[in-house]
Structure 1
Amino acid sequence: MRHLLFGGLLVFSLLISVTLYASDEYAVQIGSYSALENAKSAASLVSDQSCFINKKGDIYRVDCGVYQNKASALLARDSLRKNGFKDAFVVALNDKPSAPKDVSPSREQPPVGSKPVKGSIFERTGGYFHPFLSLGVYYTDNVFNTPDNEKSDTMLVITPGIWVSLPRVKQKLLSIRTENISPGGLELSLFREKFPRRYQSYLLYKADIEQFKKYSSENTVSHRVEGLFQYNFRGGLSFDVIDQYNRSHDLRGTGLSGELDKYNSNLINLMLNYDVSEKFKLRGEYSNFFVDYNGDVNAFRDRVDNGLSGYIFYKFKPKTSVFFEYEFLNVNYDQDIVSDSKEHHFYGGIQWDITAKSKGRFKAGYGEKNFSGGGDANNLIFEVQIDHRFTPKTSLKLAATRKTNETTISATDYILTNAIQAEYLQRFTGKISGAIKLGYRNDKYNNEITFEGVTAEREDDIYDALIALQYEFKDYLKADAGYIYTRRDSNFSGFDYTNNTFFFRITGAL
């Protein structure tokens, strides 16, 4: 199982080789505008199609979608007309000139999506290959996240990377939040996006090279590789393959030792969807996640998780569905220190994707965790994910969860986590935007531990906040600066810490 990533990458490479010779492509034009800001505003109103801006003379034209045949484009045109774009019509992309490089596509877009554009193999407004490079300077007053005797330092972070897509698109297609302590590997469940093409493939590689000024022993390099392939059959059947590999480290100060906790992890997710009718949809998923720590001190945390889940969706409104979900997780540790377990989750929920204004999911239910050595844990569980756009320039993202997580301390069984995070995004001008993020998390460990002469069940309250501004010099060059605050309050004072970090970063991307 731990080599599935490499097989997936090989399959992905073969798919690229087979599909490089694409046929004619089509899009749907929703409008023409004399002002760029009006074109961006129109593009931001479309959520179920992916839009880009093409300039011809003094006119900015907004085209949506990239389709491999005219029949698919006509269906998309009809959908857009129903959503208010009465004059939408089909255009052949291969007959159109490439979007000029001084025109930026709309920056107001859903959290996971794409802005397809017509372009050459390397081009910032399109193309198959998109290299990027980020240089960031970070100052922190608590490098090791200790409760006292804090050490400050300045760190340079160099982030090179490249992503590849077929058919070509403008924006990265995946937003996966993995977490090592989460059974199955996912911090939050995946939002599936159905792309308006017969197939869509995507591959990304990035590295984070961390260089400290004073504490060079902390220098490290992290790697991430992730990929996606989706194929949509005729008749409502489709499947997705998603894979993410990480070679990284835990946040400093989160373990019991003062060492940097490095690991390798991989998550693969296979998803099968079938549209039974206009109102009913079925989904099945299989996932495999492994985490393997480098040091002996964390060897007890090495494990492999296998998961199966099934969904039944009923669409009672055009963009809103209720659903039932069952999830099974089998957690297997390499060593017999922490007990293996089997989890059963039963959810009911609602999911919506209402134009570009609101997208979200709420689900709640009951979870059972049965340990191989005897004993169990039964808890109410829930998850909320909301992305709401008040205006084309203002949006709010909210995520909240209650779940059982795997332990980081061998003397305990599991962690009961309650967490919430909110992010406010504001575009002030065409070049300046800002973000404010606030978060709270409560981790309660099951079973008592003894640490520094105190015996109790450990409980941590973690607070974090971020404020940042971004300035976009060009479509391919931007800079951002901000401040990050993190505090952990534990009933064991030895686990307390406060961290203040200031950063400046500049990013270039094609």
Structure 2
Amino acid sequence: MRFGLLLRSAATIAMMTSVAPVLAQVEEKTRLEENRENDTQSSELEQVGGRVGAFRVLPRIEAGLLFDDNVYATDGGERSDTIYRVAPSLLLTADTSRYRWDVRAGVEFLEFDKFDDESRTNYGAGTTFRTEVVRDTRLSGRLSYDVDHEDRGSPNALTSNSEPVKYKTFDTGLGFERDVSRILFGVDGGYRKLNFDDVERNNGTIDNNDDRDRSLAQVGGKIGYEFSPGYDFLVRASYDSINYDEASDDLGFDRDSKGFRITGGIGFELTRLLTGEIFAGYLNRNYDDARFQTTKDAIFGAGLIWSPTELTTVRINLDRSIEETVFPGYTGYLNTSSSVRVTHELTRQLTLNGGVNYSKNKYERSIGSTAAARSDDNYGAQASLRYQLNRLLYTSAGYEWISRESNLPASDYGRNKFLITLGAQF
């Protein structure tokens, strides 16, 4: 049955119907380096690691210098700084014909040269698994706990805070898939808990973030039909509930809500050169507070993986979601995001990564709000080179450009980042 291969190749789309998209996203953190799964290295340079039972143990450590010309992501009065970064990590992976099980843990130290209050430590651990319980029946799951900091360029970041907001995320989920002839059935569920720390404002008062603490519970299902070799019709639906720990926020609004999302699309695999899915549908979010209008809209998207040559991979993603906000007078915002990422192996040791992304955040005002109509256009571009010296050592250099254009006064900013990294893997 071809469903398993197709859906794994369109993994990005599968994630779109899980907890993350319907959750009030904390922020989108752009990285100068591609994730490990995007590395296109020769087998002679592949990380070897060690063995502990059924697991391969893959330790790694990175050290680097990052230059940021607008640390606070502000419009005017930009401040630049050099950041020292050290990031050790450990991956344990067991991969057989019947199951795959990954366990990861890592920590990231970011030390700012001039602005000490921006220094932070991020860390986390988690595990994912996927197994074929019996023929054509698969079970998958995830469990993780992470401590991170809100980026200064986040849509919810306040410039009045003296330091980035620290937050904790607990996430778990379970999924089930079954192939029956040319039909695929699947169900999944998940739970995510977010907890935000209070921070001191520049004027010495405290920014209370307890009213941002929340949990999200989600259930979803999908059904697919292979109507022709290489082509599937896929329908996905999900329902979720967001519940805040406090009955109302600092301004007296109840931000609890419920929402659903349904999409239909075509999944395809064309001679393994182009795989993915295009889809369209509808989303809706209804809030408990009568002053918050129901947010609803048509959605559309795509998740494509194109391999024009054996050395080049292009990933294209497009999606739309409803996100939470902390700004008074707004219910939330409708986020439409798109990205194109390219990985090209120049030589067996040298890999080029690049990409562009664009997203539009359209804010929804609450009933009777005097807040100005707000719409943000967010642009980004990244490029990096990674050179694998040998099995143990690699180095990379990257550049990232970020820009936000908003109709809200003093909300525009531009940002340039440069990163040099030396890594060791064992």
Distance in 2 between residues matched to 1:366 and 1:455, nearest whole Å: 27
Read off the aligned partner of 2:191 and give its amino acid letter.
N
Distance in 2 between residues matched to 1:403 and 1:385, nearest whole Å: 15
Secondary structure of the equivalent of 1:403?
strand
Read off the aligned partner of 2:91 and give its amino acid letter.
W
Deviations along 1:357-404, one digit per CA (max 9) or x if unpaired, are 223122210112111123412210123111111001122111111221
Aligned in 2, Cα 1:483/1:108: closer, same or farther, shift over 3 Å?
closer
Aligned in 2, Cα 1:410/1:245: closer, same or farther, shift over 3 Å?
farther
Match of 1:137 in 2: 65
Distance in 1 between residues matched to 2:264 and 2:213, nearest whole Å: 32
Q: Is the 8 A contact 2:330 2:371 kept in 1?
A: no
Aligned in 2, Cα 1:471/1:342: closer, same or farther, shift over 3 Å?
same
Deviations along 1:97-153, one digit per CA (max 9) or x if unpaired, are xxxxxxxxx9649xxxxx99998517xxx9621100011110111111111111111
Q: Is the 8 A contact 2:47 2:391 kept in 1?
A: no
- CA-CA distance at 1:465 after TM superposition: 0.8
Q: CA RMSD in A?
A: 2.8
Distance in 1 between residues matched to 2:357 and 2:245, nearest whole Å: 33
Distance in 1 between residues matched to 2:68 and 2:170, nearest whole Å: 30
Distance in 2 between residues matched to 1:305 and 1:229, nearest whole Å: 22
Match of 2:274 in 1: 358
Match of 2:403 in 1: 487
Could you tell me the percent identity over the aligned residues?
A: 24
Q: Is the 8 A contact 1:358 1:389 kept in 2?
A: yes
Work out which of the residue numbers 121, 136, 148 in structure 1 matches 2:51: 121
Distance in 1 between residues matched to 2:46 and 2:403, nearest whole Å: 41
Q: Which has the larger radius of gyration?
A: 1
Deviations along 1:294-319, one digit per CA (max 9) or x if unpaired, are 11533222111100111111112344
Work out which of the residue numbers 270, 273, 280 in structure 1 matches 2:174: 270
| Structure with higher RCO (Cα < 8 A, 6+ apart) | 2
Q: Which runs of 5+ in 1 are unaligned?
A: 1-46, 51-105, 110-114, 168-195
Secondary structure of the equivalent of 2:209?
helix
Match of 2:165 in 1: 261
Match of 1:446 in 2: 364
Q: Which runs of 5+ in 2 are unaligned?
A: 9-37, 199-206
Read off the aligned partner of 1:244 and give its amino acid letter.
S
Match of 1:203 in 2: 103
Matches within 5 A, 1:375-414: 375-414=293-332
Secondary structure of the equivalent of 1:121?
strand
Read off the aligned partner of 2:223 and give its amino acid letter.
I
Matches within 5 A, 1:290-369: 290-295=193-198, 296-335=207-246, 336-337=248-249, 338-354=254-270, 356-369=272-285
Q: Is the 8 A contact 2:224 2:233 kept in 1?
A: yes
Aligned in 2, Cα 1:127/1:219: closer, same or farther, shift over 3 Å?
same
Match of 2:390 in 1: 474
Match of 2:11 in 1: none
Secondary structure of the equivalent of 1:422?
strand
Distance in 2 between residues matched to 1:458 and 1:449, nearest whole Å: 15
Secondary structure of the equivalent of 1:290?
strand
Deviations along 1:48-80, one digit per CA (max 9) or x if unpaired, are 8x9xxxxxxxxxxxxxxxxxxxxxxxxxxxxxx
TM-score (norm 1): 0.68
Distance in 1 between residues matched to 2:214 and 2:151, nearest whole Å: 19
Distance in 1 between residues matched to 2:391 and 2:48, nearest whole Å: 16
Aligned in 2, Cα 1:317/1:476: closer, same or farther, shift over 3 Å?
farther
Q: Is the 8 A contact 2:55 2:94 kept in 1?
A: no
Q: Is the 8 A contact 2:48 2:58 kept in 1?
A: no
- CA-CA distance at 1:216 after TM superposition: 1.8
Q: How many aligned residue pairs are there?
A: 370
Q: Is the 8 A contact 2:400 2:417 kept in 1?
A: yes
Deviations along 1:445-493, one digit per CA (max 9) or x if unpaired, are 1117999xx9412211111111111111113321111211111111123
Indicate yes or no: 2:321 matched with 1:426.
no
- CA-CA distance at 1:508 after TM superposition: 1.5
Secondary structure of the equivalent of 2:211?
helix
Deviations along 1:199-220, one digit per CA (max 9) or x if unpaired, are 2211001111001111122211
Distance in 1 between residues matched to 2:40 and 2:227, nearest whole Å: 28
Indicate yes or no: 2:125 matched with 1:225.
yes
Aligned in 2, Cα 1:119/1:504: closer, same or farther, shift over 3 Å?
closer
Deviations along 1:247-271, one digit per CA (max 9) or x if unpaired, are 0011114312333111001221210
Distance in 1 between residues matched to 2:394 and 2:352, nearest whole Å: 13
Match of 1:161 in 2: 89
- Going by fraction, where is strand more abundant, 1 or 2? 2
Q: Is the 8 A contact 1:343 1:369 kept in 2?
A: yes
Aligned in 2, Cα 1:418/1:118: closer, same or farther, shift over 3 Å?
closer
Indicate yes or no: 2:149 matched with 1:249.
yes
Secondary structure of the equivalent of 1:300?
helix
Distance in 2 between residues matched to 1:449 and 1:253, nearest whole Å: 28
Read off the aligned partner of 1:262 and give its amino acid letter.
K
Distance in 1 between residues matched to 2:102 and 2:334, nearest whole Å: 35
Secondary structure of the equivalent of 1:233?
strand
Distance in 2 between residues matched to 1:132 and 1:356, nearest whole Å: 32
Aligned in 2, Cα 1:354/1:208: closer, same or farther, shift over 3 Å?
farther
Distance in 2 between residues matched to 1:129 and 1:316, nearest whole Å: 42
